[in-house]
């Protein structure tokens, strides 16, 4: 499944298989008036999309859930970081829990940030703001 809110290149590509998390993430981004998103529900389809577009259309940030069907978030990160034209795109992992070992493993693979999934809407709005600022840092 893919959805896009605008007909332009996405600034943020999100890979999330949980429909509730997709809904609340969209709500969080809507609440901060950020619409330049593309959602995929599995890593393989998202990777195919990334390989099918030209360099000018690549997202500025990739956010992926860790627990995905078939290809998990770590495997997806390895695909991205081993593909020269994609390797410079920052990747953020969203996960429900994180051990110190997993966190180190993600950072060793080149993940820019690991974020624990929150339990409520307000926290998702905060995460949306953090992700937006990774793409479009606030002006000083």
Q: What pLDDT score does 10 carry? A: 59
- Determine the Cα–Cα distance for residues 91 and 80; give it in Å rounded to an integer: 9
Paired residues of 61 in beta bridges = 12
> Domain total for the chain?
1
Query: Where residue 75 sits, what CATH number does that domain have?
Result: 3.40.50.2300
Q: 140 lies in a domain? A: no
What range defines the domain where residue 54 resides? Answer: 2-135
User: Which candidate, 67, 77, 61, 81, places its Cα nearest to that of 128?
Assistant: 61
Q: What pLDDT score does 139 carry? A: 59
What's the full length of the chain, in residues? 140
* Contact in structure between 111 and 77 (CB atoms under 8 Å): yes
Q: What pLDDT score does 120 carry? A: 75
- Determine the Cα–Cα distance for residues 48 and 101; give it in Å rounded to an integer: 29
- Determine the Cα–Cα distance for residues 29 and 129; give it in Å rounded to an integer: 7
* 115 phi and psi angles, rounded to 5 deg: -125, 130
Average pLDDT across each block of 10 residues of the chain; the chain has 140 residues. List them in order.
Answer: 48 92 89 89 94 93 91 91 95 81 82 85 84 75
Q: What pLDDT score does 101 carry? A: 66
Q: 96 lies in a domain? A: yes
């Amino acid at each position: 499944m893919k959805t896009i809110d605008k007909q332009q290149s996405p600034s943020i590509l999100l890979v999330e298989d949980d429909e509730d998390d997709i809904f609340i993430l969209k709500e969080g981004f809507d609440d901060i008036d950020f619409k330049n998103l593309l959602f995929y529900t599995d890593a393989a389809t998202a990777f195919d999309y990334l390989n099918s577009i030209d360099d000018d259309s690549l997202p500025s940030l990739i956010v992926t859930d860790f627990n995905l069907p078939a290809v998990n978030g770590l495997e997806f990160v390895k695909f991205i970081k081993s593909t020269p034209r994609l390797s410079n795109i920052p990747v953020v992992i969203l996960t429900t829990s994180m051990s110190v070992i997993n966190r180190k493993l993600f950072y060793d693979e080149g993940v820019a940030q690991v974020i624990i999934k929150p339990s409520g809407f307000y926290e998702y709005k905060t995460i949306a703001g953090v992700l937006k600022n990774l793409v479009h840092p606030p002006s000083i």
